[in-house]
Amino acid sequence: MQGTAIAQPNIALIKYWGKRDIERNLPAVGSISVTLRELHTRMQVDFDDALAADALMVNDAPDEAMLPRLASCLDSVAGRDRPGARIVSTCNFPIAAGLASSASSFAALTVAAAKAAGESLDTARLASLAGRASGSAARSLLGGFVELENAGDDIVCRSLCGAEDWPLTVVVAITESGPKPVGSTEAMEISRRTSPFYSSWVDRQSHDLEIARAAIAARDLEKLAAIAEHNCLKMHSIMWASRPPMVYWNAATMRCLQTVRQLQGEGKGVFFTIDAGPQVKAVCLPEHATEVEAALRATPGVTDIMTTGLGEGARLESPG
C-alpha cells in the first residue's frame, strides 16, 4: 500500500489565471507551460489501516497547514473510505513562493497515491485528478511544452513539444524566499470579482495561445518571448487593478526585468515571466544561459539563482 513519485514544477508561458468552476477547479482560460528538470518534489504515500488520522511531513517537519488539501486529493484518487495516509514530501526548492511547488507536489502526490491504492490510471486521468487539486499541477504530468485546454467538463492536457525537441534553459532569480501573502485561488477570485481587466483577459486568451502554439511549433524564441511577456504582464495588470490590489513584485523583481531587457538589447535570446510571487524566471537559449545567469546574479536584490533545463512529466520513482 505504498507509492513514491517524483514530479517537477512547471512554469507557465501563457498563464492560467481565473476559474470557470470553483467546485471542480476548472480554469477560465487555457494555458501553456514548460516542465522543468532540476527542481523536484518527491512524494511518498503509505496507506495504513492502523492509522487513525492522516499525517504529513514536508522536508522532515510536520505540516498541518497543507494536510487538508493533500488529504482531499488522496480522497479523489483512492476514495473517501480509504485508509489513513502517511505522506512524506521532500522538495529541493522554496515552497509557496511562486515557484509552482503546488504543481509538482500535487502531480507527484496523485501518481504516488494511485500506485499506493493499487489503481492503474493513465496520464490523462492522473492529470485530471491532479488538476482538481491545483490547476497548474495537471501540466506537470507531462514533460516539455504542455498545453492545458479550456474545453469541456474535464481538465485536459496535451504535449506540444518534448523537452529534448526544444531544449531551452530557465534561470530562476530568487528575490525573496518567504511564502506568498495571498494564495493563487483567493487572488484569482479577487481578480474575477473586482478587476476591470478580467473579462478582456479571458476574451483574448485564445489569441495568445494560438500565437504561442505557432511560435513553439516553429521554435521561434523571439515570437514566443513577445507573447509570453505580454501575457505575463497582462496577468499582473489584472491583479494590480483589483480591489484590494495584489502586487507580488518587489523592487528586485523590477530590476530583474530591466536586466532581461538589457540582455535582449545585447542580442541574447531570453525573455522573462513571473508567477504569483516575486521571483523572475528568465527563459533562454542554452548558449546564452551563462550570461543570463551572471547578469541576474549581479542584479541587486537577487538572493539566489537556480538554473534548470526542461524535463519530463511526473512518474513513479524507479526501484533501486
Judged by CB under 6 A, the stretch of 9-17, 51-59, 239-247, 289-297 that binds ligand PMV is 9-17
Minimum distance between the CB of residue 15 and ligand PMV, rounded to whole angstroms?
4
Q: Is 16 in the site for ligand PMV (CB under 6 A)?
A: yes
Interacting residue with ligand PMV among 41, 128, 134, 279 (CB under 6 A): 134
Minimum distance between the CB of residue 136 and ligand PMV, rounded to whole angstroms?
3
| Alpha-carbon gap, residue 187 to 244, rounded angstroms | 10
Q: Cell match 487572488: residue?
A: 187
Total residues found in the chain within this entry:
320
Size of the site for ligand PMV (CB under 6 A): 14
Set of cell numbers at residue 99: 515557484
Binding mask 88-127 for ligand PMV (x = CB under 6 A): ------------x-x-------------------------
Interacting residue with ligand PMV among 5, 6, 12, 161 (CB under 6 A): 12
Judged by CB under 6 A, the stretch of 14-22, 60-68, 116-124, 256-264 that binds ligand PMV is 14-22
Set of cell numbers at residue 276: 504569483
* 278 SS3 class: coil
Cβ proximity of 164 and 312 under 8 Å = no
- Residue 82: CB atoms within 10 A of its CB come to 18
Q: Is 185 in the site for ligand PMV (CB under 6 A)?
A: yes
Q: What is the CA radius of gyration of the chain?
A: 19
Minimum distance between the CB of residue 35 and ligand PMV, rounded to whole angstroms?
12
Q: Are strands 315-316 and 2-7 parallel, antiparallel or unpaired?
A: antiparallel
Q: Which of 89, 160, 102 minimizes the C-alpha distance to 131?
A: 102
- Residue 194: CB atoms within 10 A of its CB come to 15
| Alpha-carbon gap, residue 160 to 39, rounded angstroms | 21
Minimum distance between the CB of residue 274 and ligand PMV, rounded to whole angstroms?
8
Query: Between residues 74 and 232, which has the closer beta carbon with respect to ligand PMV?
Result: 232
Minimum distance between the CB of residue 271 and ligand PMV, rounded to whole angstroms?
16
Q: Is 128 in the site for ligand PMV (CB under 6 A)?
A: no
Interacting residue with ligand PMV among 3, 15, 95, 195 (CB under 6 A): 15
| Alpha-carbon gap, residue 73 to 119, rounded angstroms | 14
Q: Interface residues with ligand PMV (CB under 6 A)?
A: 12, 15-17, 31, 100, 102, 134-136, 184-185, 275-276
